[in-house]
Chain A
Amino acid sequence: MAGPVLEMRSIVKTFPGVKALSDVTLTVRQGEVHAICGENGAGKSTLMKVLSGVHPYGSYEGDILFESKTCQFKDIRASEQHGIVIIHQELALVPHLSIAENLFLGNEHATRGLINWRETLRHATALLRRVGLDEHPETRVADIGVGKQQLVEIAKALSKQVKLLILDEPTAALNDEDSDKLLDLILELKNQGITSIIISHKLNEIRKVADSVTIIRDGRSIETLDVKAPETTEERIIAGMVGRDLDHRFPERTPHQPEEGAAPALEIRGWTVFHPIDQQRKVVDDVSLTVRRGEIVGIAGLMGAGRTELAMSVFGRAYGRYAAGTVLKDGTEIRTKTVAEAIGHGIAYVTEDRKHYGLNLIDTINRNISLTALDKVAQRGVVDEHEERQVAEGFRKSMNIKAPTVFEPVGKLSGGNQQKVVLSKWIFAGPDVLILDEPTRGIDVGAKYEIYTVIDQLAAQGKAVVFISSELPELLGMCDRIYTMAAGRLTGEVPRAEATQEVLMRHMTKDKEVTR
């Protein structure tokens, strides 16, 4: 067995207020494909950013040894000079430049500042042949599909004399065919002696290409398994990914008793949506689900499963290109073509990205809260500031928003308090159905508990709650029923009694198989 090409020892990386990596050790052998596996937010991407110099030497603790030499990368360029190249999830290509221009961007074949096109094209053609991409190097990158763009990224890495290739969820945006092609290429590069690290959620992919897998959980490396060994089953990997203790607390909750006969508050039938740019890609594929009054229904899924896309497209078609499906409210079909219509029908969507989609950060708390339902504090188009202020004060007290006054700009609040403002805003709109997308992302434990309590109260008041979350313990602690999604499809529906992290994770990693 070959010796290690890379050793990362006891890596600790702290962001202000958060310990992203608390103790990670990673050993990658020469010439292998090494998978890194873990839940969303476990610290995989952070680890790779430390390795590639995005987080420079000095901003983390621990040692990195590459080819038995200690490395202190101060930026990406430094790591690339050593032959470590990272391909990010979001591709870093300039869409309006040609393939060849992209391949050598920042690294041009040039003499005295003038580009040598002959040499550029010759080299580009050679590189494209190596990754099996049959496109002319002068084609614009915008004109080729995402799968081919991914290959261009790899070709670009090869042009930099790559020794260690890092791929961050390379197949997340690809269809089956392109994924297969890409995985084959990784194996082909392995034969040429290039070591790869691949971050992936998809266990079938890991089984196909990887030699070993390191599992990261809550910023720690848990274990490294030999994928080819018979005892390394998918169950084994899943157990490693989720096997933490429940360290969060949830309010006591009496499970919902469905009323017989009553139509569900929200029903979605056959919902299908295409990607807004990649017109061929189904982001949400034939999803049907129901939520009853008083019920909290979870949607579990890994990154790219299509949960947010489902929610946003149902909420006034605010995402993607609608293809098929109907929305029923209390048993009757409703129109939700615009956000205003969706709100009018009593649906609220609390976004996962409060800073970009949830709040006007430069505006005050009271104005943010009233925005969705200004008519409630206005007469004939004129806002009654008096009443608006009282409403906001009410929420500040009931939600325990920590701010000196309701005239504080929302941008100055902490994440947890911002989230409370977003929730207040949508509660004020008075919806029957609340779709909560990662309502506790990036907020501290105390604020989480407060938000769980609010969600619980909403359900107790008879509202239907859809709870989208990447944190399985949270779903298990709060939900009456949990749907799982993978690659845009529903892959399971698990009642509270049967739900465990293992069961959910198995459904979530089921990539593209349909089971009902």
Chain B
Amino acid sequence: MSTDVTAKSPAPAPPGGSGPAADGGLLGLVLAGLRRNMRQYGMLIALGLIVVLFAIWTDGDLLLPRNVSNLVLQNSYILILAIGMMLVIIAGHIDLSVGSLTAFVGAFAAVLTVQHGISWPVALVLCLVVGAVAGSVQGYLIAYLGIPSFIVTLAGMLLFRGLTEILLKGQTLGPFPDGLQKLGNGFLPEVGPDTNYHNLTLLLGLVLIAAVVWQEFRDRRRQQEFSLDVLPTRLFLLKLTALVAAILVVTLLLASYKGAPIVLIILGALVVGYGYVMRNAVFGRHIYAIGGNLPAAKLSGVKDKKVTFYVFLNMGVLAALAGLVVAARLNAASPKAGVNFELEAIASSFIGGASMSGGVGTVLGAIIGGLVLGVLNNGMNLLSVGTDWQQVIKGLALLVAVGFDVWNKRKSGS
């Protein structure tokens, strides 16, 4: 290996045998592409499969416009939590407190707006600040005092739950002002001429499609510039078509009901923003570095404590946002809100490709993982499966997803 320099060609060959597959039909191409990117696409395909299966089992009810809209609203807060949880898990930690924290923030919002009549924008900001403070206290204990995150957030879980009950005196408090309710149940306003569809949603969908197509082509061009392995043209077009079709379908479904939920817009912004940070920002890089190999990151000058602190602060803010959305959706703050949310968020992250030892995962993965659970929930509700069996099935889904990941990793020999 030391002398064999000639074998090293300047144009790198794509890993895995793509040669024969390139000559095969489109199906062969697709299969080869999938095989190479099993980890990336595995869960996406699983999600697609689950959607198709439940659509069939429910005689299409799953994909009725009203239900799709519901699906988004029902799962939005778990998805918001899952984004933050993904960061925490990538950094090599865990946060068990977020369920209780969402309840606490919901209660706080209720006390502010319902009991004290504070205007809702002010209350919203105050709630996010409370989340940030809660997150930063936990983050400080974990990062700077070195108390394990499991312990700190387990304590936080009990503590915030207790504080919620104290704040609400065991009662349910509501209703919220209209503005805040919109956060959980609201849709984009209706504008323009009366078509059968929701105009603004259609417009947004088209903008999104344009953005995605532009982004995909730009990525591809850049990769080609560096003579990197790119998808074969036919496969690339297929992927692009599938992507556009998926966005189009969801857009049309939403637009033929009440339009895009406001929380979906927020969620979309979060996914794009956090995806960008984790991929392109120095901060995101440092999160992957401390999760992947903490001693090496330290010796590379990464301020590991600061990074850990901010990851938990961020989790607190997102938990507060999720808390507001839940409270707004139920239109009441309840002492029992947010129970098990932390577990759903953690499960979403692991289904979406996070690793127990940290350093691995993507924001999009957390969303896909969350959607897998969400569609399972919704689909089983439509089929009137009892909550008992729902839990069993969700547990199995988590096991299968992570088991598949482990098996796949071992097979590829890494």
Contact = CB atoms under 8 A, between A and B. Distances in A.
Contacts of A453: none
Contact of B300 (A371, A375, A402): A371
Interface in A391-440: 393, 400, 402, 404-405, 407-409, 411-412, 414, 416, 425
B8 A383 contact: no
Contact of B299 (A318, A408, A416): A318
A404 B12 contact: yes
A371 B293 contact: no
B229 A382 contact: no
B3 interface: yes
B359 A360 contact: yes
Contact of A374 (B15, B282, B292, B360): B282
B176 to A, nearest CB: 36
Interface string A299-330: 00000000000000001101000000000000
Contacts of B147: none
A400 B283 CA distance: 30
A363 interface: yes
Given A315-B299, A340-B303, A404-B15, A412 B2 contact: no
A339 B299 contact: yes
Nearest to A360: B292
B226 interface: yes
Interface string A231-264: 0000000000000000000000000000000000
B288 A405 contact: no
Nearest to B276: A382
Contact of B360 (A356, A362, A381): A362
Given A389-B226, A404-B15, A371 B414 contact: no
Given A360-B359, A372-B300, A446 B3 contact: yes
Contacts of A386: 222
Contacts of A315: 299
Contacts of A393: 226
A356 B296 contact: yes
Contact of B2 (A339, A359, A361, A446): A446
B239 interface: no
Contact of A375 (B1, B282, B295): B282
Interface string B287-304: 011001101111111110
B285 A374 contact: yes
B17 to A, nearest CB: 13
B414 A405 contact: no
B303 A363 contact: no
Given A374-B282, A409-B414, A445 B301 contact: no
Q: Most chain-A Cβ atoms within 10 A of its Cβ — which of B15, B229, B292? A: B292
Q: Most chain-B Cβ atoms within 10 A of its Cβ — which of A378, A386, A404? A: A404
Given A340-B301, A372-B301, A409-B414, A357 B282 contact: no
A446 B414 CA distance: 25
Q: Most chain-B Cβ atoms within 10 A of its Cβ — which of A340, A349, A362, A407? A: A362
B226 to A, nearest CB: 6
Contacts of B266: none
Interface string B1-45: 111010010001111000000000000000000000000000000
Given A393-B226, A411-B414, A339 B300 contact: yes
B414 A412 contact: yes
A362 B292 contact: yes
Given A351-B299, A444-B1, A382 B281 contact: yes
Contacts of B293: 356-357, 359-362
A316 B222 CA distance: 39
A367 interface: yes
B1 A360 contact: no
B275 to A, nearest CB: 13
Contacts of B286: 374
A409 B15 CA distance: 12
Interface in A322-353: 338-340, 342-343, 349, 351
A405 B12 contact: yes
A354 to B, nearest CB: 8
A402 B14 CA distance: 14
A385 interface: yes
Contacts of B360: 362
Contacts of B12: 404-405
B292 A361 contact: yes
Nearest to A450: B2
Contact of A381 (B5, B282, B297): B282
Contacts of B229: 405
Q: Most chain-A Cβ atoms within 10 A of its Cβ — which of B226, B298, B300, B301? A: B300
A444 B2 contact: yes
Q: Most chain-A Cβ atoms within 10 A of its Cβ — which of B13, B279, B293, B414? A: B293
Contacts of B14: 404
B292 A357 contact: no
B228 A407 contact: yes
14 contacts: A315-B299, A318-B299, A339-B299, A340-B301, A360-B292, A360-B297, A360-B359, A382-B280, A383-B280, A383-B281, A400-B8, A409-B414, A416-B2, A446-B2
Given A356-B295, A358-B299, 14 more contacts: A318-B299, A357-B295, A357-B296, A361-B293, A363-B288, A371-B297, A374-B285, A374-B286, A378-B281, A378-B282, A385-B280, A404-B13, A416-B1, A444-B2
